[in-house]
Amino acid sequence: MAEPILDTNATFAHGTYPTFKLHSNGRFTGHILPAGQAFLVNPSTTVDIHQHFLAARGRNVRGTCSGFIMATCTTPFSELPVGTDFDCDLALVMGVTSTDTDKVPAKVDVHYYLWKGDLGNHKSVTDAMIKLNNPHKFCKAMFSTTLHHSQLGQRHSCH
């Protein structure tokens, strides 16, 4: 798929919207689109070497789900500057636990592996995907082996 086209006059786009880009060199950045801007599908046959992610809205996961990815940051996404790029972490979420459920709000911990950003002997993220040819091998090679956890509110997430 070609790199999406940024429509700067998208009258249907109300409010700000976080987007993320996994660069071919392994760097992960976020960008807050201002109101009135949105990405459109690019009909070009030129393949983009970057991976683009849009935050999910109203998501429902049915069936088995062994993990999902999220962008995580120490600063709330609502406080990040609109229209500029910022560094954040790509995380592979493995689950959540809740304790102190008798309190409101309950304490919720998110358990995740962080993207290493180190491509090893691969030329790009796409090259790693092609050569490893298996989601399990790719995740094992590209994400840290340490399972992290943080309380909701300590790190801010966008799925």
pLDDT above 90: percentage of residues in the chain: 13
- Gap between the Cα atoms of 57 and 134, Å rounded: 28
Confirm if 82 and 103 have CB atoms less than 8 A apart. no
- Gap between the Cα atoms of 32 and 77, Å rounded: 8
Domain positions in the chain are 5-158
Confirm if 75 and 109 have CB atoms less than 8 A apart. no
The string of pLDDT tens digits covering residues 86-131 is 888 999 888 888 877 677 777 888 889 999 988 888 888 888 888 9
Can you tell me which residue has the tokens 């996404």? 77
Q: Which range is least confidently modeled, 5-9, 44-48, 76-80?
A: 44-48
CB-CB neighbours of 119 under 10 Å: 16
Alpha helices (runs of H) in 10-133, residue ranges in sequence order: 125-132
- Gap between the Cα atoms of 113 and 145, Å rounded: 7
DSSP codes joined into one string, 4-32: PEEETT-TT--S-EEEEEE-TTS-EEEEE
Alpha helices (runs of H) in 55-111, residue ranges in sequence order: none
